[in-house]
Amino acid sequence: MTSEEIKEKYSMSEILERYGFKPNRAGFICCPFHREKTPSMKIYAKSFYCFGCGKHGDIFDFVAGMENCNFSEAYKSLGGVEDNSRKAKFAEYKRRKAREKATRIAQNERNKKICIFDRQDELRALLSELEPLSDEWANCYRELLQVTAERAKLSKEEDIYEYAYTYVTSGLYQDFYSKGAG
Q: Tell which of 63, 78, 93 closes a domain.
A: 78
The fraction of the chain above a pLDDT of 90, given in percent, is 27
Q: Tell which of 43, 78, 113 closes a domain.
A: 78
Q: Indicate the pTM of the whole model.
A: 0.47
Q: Are residues 90 and 154 in the same domain?
A: yes
Q: Are residues 126 and 160 in the same domain?
A: yes
Q: Are residues 94 and 168 in the same domain?
A: yes
Name residues whose C-beta falls within 8 Å of residue 6's C-beta, 6 or more positions apart in sequence: 59, 60, 75, 78, 79, 80
Q: Are residues 109 and 165 in the same domain?
A: yes
**Which segment of 26-30, 151-155, 163-167 scores lowest on mean pLDDT?**
163-167
Q: Are residues 40 and 99 in the same domain?
A: no
Question: Nearest 5 degrees, angle CA 71-CA 9-CA 45?
Answer: 80
Which backbone phi and psi does 43 adopt, to 5 degrees? -105, 125
pLDDT grade, residue 182 (50/70/90)? very low
CATH number of the domain encompassing residue 61? 3.90.580.10
pLDDT tens, position by position, 2-37: 788 888 888 899 999 989 999 999 999 999 999 988
pLDDT tens, position by position, 90-142: 887 888 898 899 989 889 888 888 888 888 889 888 888 888 888 998 898 88
Q: Are residues 74 and 93 in the same domain?
A: no
pLDDT grade, residue 62 (50/70/90)? very high
Report the chain's mean pLDDT, rounded to a whole number: 82
Domain count, the chain: 2
CA 14 vs. chain centroid, Å, equals 30
Domain assignment of residue 160, given as a range:
85-180
The fraction of the chain above a pLDDT of 70, given in percent, is 82
Q: Are residues 62 and 109 in the same domain?
A: no
Q: Are residues 99 and 60 in the same domain?
A: no
